[in-house]
Structures are given as structure tokens and as C-alpha cells.
Amino acid sequence: MQAEIRLHRTNPPGTGNSQMDAIRILGLLPREWTRHLSQADGDMVLRVDTADETTPAQILAAAAAALADPAVAHWRLSACEPLASL
């Protein structure tokens, strides 16, 4: 399953480092997933490929669990959308 995870910063822009936060969040997602940062300017867009039958709900749950980490708790999930497989 390939999906795009969109995140929104809850603290004011300029307070924190989006790219550093992205690295932290990517590291908190399951290691067996392929993870990529697509955008880290303001809002954040992550792309994941689980390489199995993981559901969008499971991806959303994993992303929510990652955001429970206090270091990145100032980010909120905006969307989790499946992508068409190539």
C-alpha cells in the first residue's frame, strides 16, 4: 500500500525545524516501510510504501502513534490518502 500522509504544524511557523521534525517522524514510522519526505515547507507531506496489504486505517494509526512522541507533538494529521500503485 502506498499512501501520502499530510501533517499540519500546530505551533506558529518559524518555531522549530520542519526538516528535523520530518526526520524524527520518518524514524518513528515502522522500519519495514519505505518512507520519503515529499515536502517540509510549512505543512509536511510524507509518502510511505508498506509493500503489503496494510490498510489506510493502519497507516493512519501508525502516523498517529508517531505523533504521540513529545518531540513532534506539535504536528497534527491532516490526511492520509492511498496512492495508485505504479
Q: Which of 44, 48, 33 is nearest to 75 (CA)?
A: 44
Q: Is pLDDT of 84 > 90?
A: no
Span 2-22, average pLDDT: 83
The whole-model pTM stands at 0.86
Domain count along the chain:
1
What CATH number does the domain containing 50 carry?
3.30.70
Contact 85, 70 (CB under 8 A): no
pLDDT for 42 equals: 72
**46: containing domain:** 2-82
35 bridge partner residues = 48
d(CA 46, CA 80): 9
d(CA 22, CA 11): 15
What tens digit of pLDDT does each residue of 24-64 get?
Answer: 999 999 999 999 998 766 789 999 999 999 999 999 999 99
pLDDT for 18 equals: 80
pLDDT for 15 equals: 59
